Structure 1
């Protein structure tokens, strides 16, 4: 996921955070039945948003391809969703994100961390 966002999204690597939360086998139910062979993924997009239906579809398909070797290709049931948080509602280390085309954004990428601008 980090590689995708840094290569294609041109985002700093530190914009991508991943949390793995293991749960008990009987704690995830699909169709009302417990399953130990399922993965639930929640992706929060905050830096860049998709505006049109075709871009949203491509984003969904790319995420499915990235996940497949780790999930469906291994026989696991996989479901995911993508939330998009408005840029005005998030901060990193107490700093609002700079505009995507700004020198400050490029500085964040070079430093790989939020820095005052």
Structure 2
């Protein structure tokens, strides 16, 4: 699951349309290009009132243009090695281009790759990427129980 926490000044991403535009671009990257089920992608918009977010010594509310901080957490797939990381950064850059970069905002992002063994959706450990169950979840865009390949249903003999 990629989870994006988008920290932004109150005047940015005010409308549902602005939020949906970024969500669409993020989902296009993960679902269309990355082939992850759309329901894996979570985007949280976290407006930061004046006096609650600082960049260096400066309250971001006092900057000459908005500052957006993206904190991205990954569990479904890891990309931190070499060319995978570079492609991944390009993907993020593309996803934020229209909603952040082209608007001239200051921005920063970081990605944390969490162990997939510590991840559940609706009480179920997600299937491995590319597995039959993964393909089913992707097609149906929902969680369903499974036993084949599920680490929680395996017994140690």
**TM-score of the aligned structures, taking structure 1 as reference length:** 0.92
Q: 1:43 aligns with which of 72, 81, 86?
A: 72
Relative to its length, the structure with more strand (as a share) is 2
TM-fit CA distance, 1:22: 0.6
**Per-residue CA shift, 1:9-39, capped at 9, x if unaligned?**
1110000011111110332211211113110
Instruction: Pick the structure with greater CA Rg.
Output: 2
Aligned residue in 2 for 1:57: 86
Aligned residue in 2 for 1:14: 39
Runs of 4 or more consecutive aligned structure 1 residues displaced over 4 Å after TM superposition: none
User: Which segments of 5 or more consecutive residues in structure 1 lack a partner in the other structure?
Assistant: none
**TM-score of the aligned structures, taking structure 2 as reference length:** 0.70
Distance in 1, Cα, partners of 2:130 & 2:94: 28
Aligned residue in 1 for 2:14: none
| CA root-mean-square deviation | 1.3
Distance in 2, Cα, partners of 1:68 & 1:89: 31
Distance in 1, Cα, partners of 2:86 & 2:139: 30
Distance in 1, Cα, partners of 2:140 & 2:31: 13
